């Protein structure tokens, strides 16, 4: 993965996903810390007789099975595709767009609206047409991307 210390080239969705990952890790570490502290307090309690201990375990097992919901089927994990197994070639894309909902064509890391290049990046990575090291970082150097275009003043996709 790329240097995670610099988030300048990350997409907004990528940043949100990274924050969620970090929050999940924090929650998991805090819950494991609480579990360790409760087991330590259990060890400090006076020793029970063997019979009482067995009854307590049975009650705990019964309450756990009653609280557990029905098992859900495991979701499939997304496997990374190996690009070395497939032949590659250069392609040309011709596109037109309505710019109302976009912040221009060129990707801007600190843009408020998504750009056309950002949406193009997301589409190409999702379709496995390009294979970046980190999908959250918009960096077209991995695929020899180049662009050309022309916008005449006052001309729109409607041909006005």
Q: Is the pLDDT of residue 73 over 60?
A: yes
**pLDDT, position 14:** 84
**84-111 as b/e, with b when 16 or more CB fall inside 10 Å?**
eeeeeeeeeeeeeeeeeebeebebeeee
For the annotated catalytic residues, the residue numbers are 152
Q: What are the structure tokens assigned to 84, written together?
A: 């070395």
Q: Give the span between the Cα atoms of 133 and 137, in whole angstroms.
A: 9
Q: Is the pLDDT of residue 159 over 70?
A: no
- Distance, first Cα to last Cα, the chain: 46
Per-residue pLDDT tens over the stretch 13-62? 888 888 999 999 998 888 877 666 655 555 555 555 566 656 666 666 66
Per-residue pLDDT tens over the stretch 105-125? 788 777 788 888 888 888 888
């Amino acid at each position: 993965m790329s240097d995670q210390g610099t988030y300048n080239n990350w997409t907004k969705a990528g940043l949100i996903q990274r924050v969620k990952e970090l929050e999940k890790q924090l929650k998991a570490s805090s819950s494991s810390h609480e579990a360790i502290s409760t087991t330590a307090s259990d060890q400090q309690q006076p020793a029970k007789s063997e019979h009482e201990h067995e009854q307590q375990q049975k009650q705990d097992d019964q309450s756990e099975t009653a609280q557990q919901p029905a098992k859900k089927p495991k979701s499939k994990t997304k496997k990374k595709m190996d690009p070395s197994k497939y032949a590659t070639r250069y392609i040309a894309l011709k596109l037109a767009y309505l710019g109302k909902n976009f912040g221009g064509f060129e990707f801007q890391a600190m843009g408020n609206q998504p750009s056309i290049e950002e949406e193009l990046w997301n589409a190409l990575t999702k379709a496995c047409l390009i294979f970046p090291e980190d999908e959250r970082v918009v960096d077209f150097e991995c695929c020899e991307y180049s662009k050309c275009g022309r916008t005449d003043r006052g001309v729109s996709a409607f041909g006005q």
